[in-house]
Chain A
């Protein structure tokens, strides 16, 4: 059993402390801990120590689109970004709608060992929205699926959504809805508003998201289920979720880093690196999302890490794929938009990026406090760092980041998964 001593780390941003990892668990937290018998000493020098981050919304693309990402490259990117667990979305080829596919993804994660991979199962067969997938079989499989989502597509049929919400109650599951009314978003290319009107790009109206969220929180209330809303992007959605929570409806919601920082003004460049679903919204939406994440209306930050090969972005806007990579920049964007603005402290970041997503996903051993006896899933962050984003250095197979060349604060220097350093001092294990 190897021992690691992290010296002088600001646990959740507090006063510097030493943290001793013994094997897979945290063995001691205190000041002036003895280095005797320790294999590795990490001088934290005031860096911030967080519980390992948990991403409830990652696209690892394997099986099927290994040209853009694999479980290996995606989990390496995750480790680099400070994550110790990612939930892998179901829109692969074939779709993760059977026990076989989710078990394959789960096992690949285990074999590579950079990050725990918890597959998400599809709600409906082939993401077609018509017939429930074998949700129970996926739950009972080795992958132990608890989160189900047709992400990329909306479970638009109200009856199917109702049944799914009800059905997963039997085993404590949750449906994560990609809220997008399909008819209102036919041909949609960007947020509908002033900018889309000028650019002549098909509009993706806020109401297409908000109407589905409103419907689904009411359905969840009616059938007594919990529901999770993926990548909430509008001020109106925030209001609906706030209202639902005030009524006691069991709803949770996520926001992506890019929706906390970028607006549809970026689309004026027609650079498809800004093309994403849901689309970048307005400044007013961005501010509402930040505020909602701070006050807990939005529970978590999830990356919606969506790798695409270069050629799918090096083209005209309409022909480009939707999505952007996010695992390796998420924490920096959260530091910039939430911490440096004073909206959230590091304990708050630990909650929104680790504890809360683990709770929503019923993840075991993740999102735990940094305390004696807990699994040593930890992330050390140099919050004083500032630097330009260089996609060439990404561990992800894809480079479709909207932050190329942009200066962002903070960088992860170490990530430990059950005591083993998956990433340390700029090097992946």
Chain B
């Protein structure tokens, strides 16, 4: 594994399977009465959040605490950042206090990459979501959830997602979750289909290692997992789609559409859900919907990432520097 986790595209198949297997071990610890491991005792992890986030920050914090790390939470609001301090100065201030790893969430695409590669700090950097670029731990927890549900907790060990069909639906254009999932799922051997109105797909998507469709109904019967992305209501003001109702009719997942999916197929959502928009309450509350499971799995997956970057053994990998942002071309 590389020294930082910036993009899901930085992970090899073996890296990713190793993380998922490690997450499975963490999940087993989570079943115990005492959930805490001493792995990162004496290490300090800083959660550097320049963008509002509740669930991701809490998830990282839970993961860090279960590994016995000391945790510093830094939120941009009310901090020196709102007084005009630069990312560089903020990072160096924290580095001077001796943090062993930085988990960063930033509204600017590429901010974690800059932090990791500009020589501002030495600590490993974990991207907790940057702009519309990447959210690699989300993709890992999604892959973990799929592997557990579609293959099984034990049977899945050492396995990737070869042959599984995953349909990702919604605002791909503005979604870091979609980008990270396309990268990681491709690496793990899954077939990905993106479904969205053409306005919510980026120019250039045709080069991604996935299929693209404008029609949700035709993509459902072969799906093993359908991942619904949040669609912000404000998007319709910028003419990405005419109305909320029309979006919902064409691209929302309701009970009738869910019935077109194979019986074993699951419905996923990174949260927060906009009920009535991309997903109906009937679907969101159904047995097939893994939203809360994804949240639980997020903690195990992030524990695995922190453990492997900070304390664990990396199989045959020595630490190396920056990431390259080279993506495997689509077939």
Contacts and interface: CB of A to CB of B under 8 A. Distances in A.
A152 interface: no
Contacts of A196: 202-204
B327 interface: yes
Given A200-B109, A315-B87, A195 B114 contact: no
A203 B114 contact: no
Given A199-B133, A199-B325, A268-B325, A317 B204 contact: no
A322 to B, nearest CB: 15
Contact of B114 (A192, A198, A201, A316): A316
B143 to A, nearest CB: 19
A340 interface: no
19 contacts: A193-B204, A194-B207, A196-B204, A197-B202, A198-B179, A198-B327, A199-B109, A200-B132, A201-B110, A201-B132, A270-B110, A270-B114, A314-B118, A315-B87, A316-B87, A317-B108, A317-B114, A318-B108, A319-B87
Size category of the binding interface on chain A? 20 to 34
B185 to A, nearest CB: 15
A311 interface: yes
A317 B113 CA distance: 10
B160 interface: no
A200 B130 contact: yes
Q: At the interface, is chain B mostly helix, strand, loop or mixed?
A: loop
A159 B113 CA distance: 44
Given A268-B325, A315-B88, A316-B114, A197 B203 contact: yes
A203 B202 contact: yes
B168 to A, nearest CB: 15
A317 B130 CA distance: 12
Nearest to A270: B110
A191 to B, nearest CB: 10
Contacts of B130: 200
B109 A201 contact: yes
A96 to B, nearest CB: 29
Contacts of B106: 316
Interface of A: 189, 192-201, 203, 205, 268-271, 311, 314-319
Given A315-B114, A317-B114, A319-B86, 11 more contacts: A197-B202, A200-B132, A200-B133, A205-B203, A268-B324, A270-B114, A314-B118, A315-B86, A318-B109, A318-B110, A319-B87
B239 to A, nearest CB: 11
B88 A314 contact: yes
Nearest to B9: A198
B236 interface: no
Interface string B202-245: 11110110000000000000000000000000000000000000
B308 interface: no
A319 B110 contact: no
A194 B204 contact: yes
Interface in B61-113: 86-88, 106-111, 113
B86 A318 contact: no
Pick the 3 closest A-B CB pairs, nearest first: A197-B204, A200-B133, A270-B110
B186 interface: no
